[in-house]
Chain A
Amino acid sequence: GENVEQHPSTLSVQEGDSAVIKCTYSDSASNYFPWYKQELGKRPQLIIDIRSNVGEKKDQRIAVTLNKTAKHFSLHITETQPEDSAVYFCAASIVGNNDMRFGAGTRLTVKP
């Protein structure tokens, strides 16, 4: 089955700096890659997603890039703010299978 690895497990940045979280996946048939943000004690919420027919997608301060050849995708957060502090999960979805596999998560801390 699909295996998703996420790095780093923890990330600490100064407010205003950029943060990058990387994920790799094993199944080349995967074609949907969402990113979820989970604040402490809250439910995960989608922040951005990308499909395999697109190489990059941006939404204000966040962007996701996808390299299908290398089977990795990354989340980029620019001009980080303290409210960006949370755990971020990447995920990959297998075509023809309604399974969704998540990475282990990255705890991002933005220091004021």
Chain B
Amino acid sequence: NAGVTQTPKFRVLKTGQSMTLLCAQDMNHEYMYWYRQDPGMGLRLIHYSVGEGTTAKGEVPDGYNVSRLKKQNFLLGLESAAPSQTSVYFCASTRQHYNEQFFGPGTRLTVL
């Protein structure tokens, strides 16, 4: 059981470039989440999904898009990266909403 994995671990982008972060889980969880973590601000929810084919906006969705084409994968896209999107991105999954969220190892993204 790999749990929750994220690809890539690190990435440096130039302003205006695009990229996709991949989150995968092998626990058959229904719910998946994308957070960003910035110093002094805790974890902020970007988008989430309550099942295959469904997505919803979280607290800070602007500048990001997501897709959940397969139950085990949740993709986070940045269409035109901005320096304000420099952050550590965590993916998480859970079986039901009021259960423990299992986090991936994180992706450190720097936008120059």
What is A's interface to B at a CB cutoff of 8 Å? 1, 6, 9, 32, 34, 42-46, 49, 51, 89, 91, 93, 98-105
Contact check, B100 vs A99: say whether CB atoms are below 8 A apart. Answer: no
Partner of B50, one of A34, A51, A98: A98
**B31 close to chain A: CB less than 8 A:** yes
* A98 vs B98: C-alpha distance when bound (angstroms): 9
Contact check, A99 vs B48: say whether CB atoms are below 8 A apart. Answer: yes
Bin the interface of chain B by size: 20 to 34
Q: Which 8 A-B pairs have the closest CB atoms?
A: A43-B103, A102-B42, A102-B43, A46-B100, A104-B42, A32-B98, A105-B42, A44-B103
Do A44 and B43 form a contact, CB below 8 Å, given A98-B50, A98-B56, A99-B58?
yes
Q: How distant is A100 from chain B, measured CB to nearest CB, in Å?
A: 6
What is B's interface to A at a CB cutoff of 8 Å? 31, 33, 35, 40-45, 48, 50, 56, 58-59, 90, 97-98, 100-101, 103-106
Q: Which residues of B contact A44 (CB under 8 A)?
A: 43, 90, 103
Contact check, A43 vs B104: say whether CB atoms are below 8 A apart. Answer: yes
Cβ contacts A to B, 20 pairs, < 8 Å: A32-B98, A42-B105, A43-B103, A43-B104, A43-B106, A44-B43, A44-B90, A44-B103, A45-B103, A46-B101, A98-B31, A98-B50, A99-B59, A100-B33, A100-B101, A101-B45, A101-B59, A103-B42, A105-B40, A105-B42
* A53 vs B90: C-alpha distance when bound (angstroms): 30
Q: Which residues of B contact A9 (CB under 8 A)?
A: 40
